Structure 1
Amino acid sequence: MSVPLSLGFTFPYSENQIDILAYLAFINGEVYYWKSCEKIKRFRVITHLRYDEIYTKDVYLWVHFATKVANVEVFTSYCQLNPCGSVYWSNLVSLSIGNAQPTDGVTEKILSSCPNLECLELRKVSGIQRLEIRSVKLRILIIEEYYEKNHDIWLEIIAPHLKHLEIIGIR
């Protein structure tokens, strides 16, 4: 019998560049150490980093590790990602997107790149007018604090296979 492995890292907010780089080096060292592990259930990094070119290689390393190396099912990262090109996260089962403004097209690309996604959480998001979920595997949708600057725009949800829908605090 094996126990599912979870890796989690939390770093308090800091503007000290030396502290941030030391923290990133620590996480990267752990990623290197665990790279031979066949399966990691959950990989969580909480950094509150703003998207900056100097951190790009670190964040992409974590995404690569989670999606290609360790077959992570639940990957969460509290830092800004700006992926270029296409992504395919075939092993991802749960995804949380927060403090973002994805357009309908971006949301559609994310959903199509995660064919095994079972749970999608959208927290503090705007910019989505139509959320069409055709996947038979995606069963849980949580929308928390959806907001739209133009109050005349409504969020349309088409999701015939959902089993659980939570909508909390729409503004």
Structure 2
Amino acid sequence: MANGSDAEYTAYVHGRATALRRTAYLLCGDEHQADDLVQETITKLYARWPKISRQAENLDSYVHTILVRIFLDEKRRGWWKVRLGIPPDRPAPVVPAHDVEERAVLRTALSQVPPRQQAVLVLRFLCDQPIADVARVLGCSEGTVKSQTAHGLTALRRILGDRIHTLGSIR
């Protein structure tokens, strides 16, 4: 990108990296996988930057769509993806024990919900996105988002059982 758009790309990525990583983490529940999702997202964005930066009406929505689709594609890959257990290289933030337990319970339950329902629940409830935005990101109708939300919540209730009443607002 010789026309100076490299600087624009870099500025955009630096400004959005934290939000992208948060969304990626909420989708997958793993710091390292979230970093991989963000890396793949910004790599795809870089390849398309000259065209997209001029033509996209809502660049943030476009980038979130890339991120969610990469997450869903990764879930489809299945058994041949290898996960290595590597100890964290940064200290974990201090979080009250009950929050850690609640988050772990919710993360485990979310990981048992089908990927598309998981993406809908994360985007709707943890990222506070309206139905129309979630539909646009997933490339489906608003009705599909509503039904996926209902099915996902039903699955979470089934998985969590009595524990659902003890969980607070987790973000």
TM-score range, shorter chain: under 0.3
Structure-1-length-normalised TM-score: 0.28
Structure-2-length-normalised TM-score: 0.28
Q: Which has the higher strand share?
A: 1
Q: Which has the higher helix share?
A: 2
